[in-house]
Amino acid sequence: MAQQDSGLRLLGLIGGALAVWFCSYIVALLGLNAEPAGALASGGLVVLAVVGFLPWIWTSVFDFMMDFGRASRWRNLVRKIEVLTPGPVREGSELAVTFDVMGKVRTTTSEVWAFERPRRLGLRNTANNVTGVFEYTLEPHDGGTTVRFMCDIKPHGLMWLALPFLIRGNRMRYRDQLSNLGRAIEDGWPA
């Protein structure tokens, strides 16, 4: 019996080592940075970092982004966003984000982890054993706004095995986020 237990422990260690190796292999294969995501500091992988220029004043761009009634016009798959926490949006506020995902409507709670009007908005949520961390930073530039968007993911448990699919899916989903924002502002400006 003791030999069976130590054999099972050995198999568990080998399986764990293979999972770590596999994830390291995928990270190396895809050329991903496995370091923590700098300002995001979630310990996940920076899946996507996009920088864009919008020809509108940065305070106005931030106000448009914070108008959650317009979220479905530029945020991929988002049907609506509702503020759950009483009062104005601030660090620590919770948002109910409703998505259309693969033919199903799903709602998840996102936390505002960074909020510096009109410079920075950070959101974080965990669903299906994957934590997503998102950050928008805005800076005035040549009469317009430079917007930086970062998407960072951190799988938990067996979801590490799905890492290549998570990376690909998130990159495809968010790569047009800033151009969508620009089009939505142009189409809906002024309110």
Are 40 and 23 part of one and the same domain? no
Are 129 and 156 part of one and the same domain? yes
Residue 54, domain member (yes or no): yes
CA–CA dist 115, 25 (Å, integer): 36
Is the confidence at residue 44, as pLDDT, over 70? Answer: no
SS3 of 158, please? helix
Residue 125, domain member (yes or no): yes
Are 64 and 120 part of one and the same domain? yes
The CB density around residue 153, as the number of other CB atoms within 10 Å, is 22
Residue 161, domain member (yes or no): yes
Q: Range of 5's domain? A: 1-31
- At residue 31 the predicted structure's pLDDT band, cuts being 50, 70 and 90, is very low
CA–CA dist 23, 164 (Å, integer): 9
Q: Residue 29's pLDDT is what?
A: 45
User: How much is the average pLDDT of 140-145?
Assistant: 93
Q: What percent of the chain has pLDDT over 70?
A: 75
User: How much is the average pLDDT of 63-88?
Assistant: 94
- CB-based contact 101:86 (threshold 8 Å): no
Is the confidence at residue 36, as pLDDT, over 70? Answer: no
Residue 109, domain member (yes or no): no
Q: Into how many domains does the chain fold?
A: 2
CA–CA dist 35, 32 (Å, integer): 9
Residue 60, domain member (yes or no): yes
Where would I find the beta strands (DSSP E) of the chain?
Answer: 45-54, 78-83, 94-101, 104-116, 120-127, 130-141, 144-155
pLDDT digits (tens, 9 = 90+) for 94-106: 999 999 988 899 9
Model confidence, pTM: 0.76
Is the confidence at residue 34, as pLDDT, over 70? Answer: no
Q: Residue 101's pLDDT is what?
A: 83
User: How much is the average pLDDT of 143-162?
Assistant: 92
- At residue 46 the predicted structure's pLDDT band, cuts being 50, 70 and 90, is confident
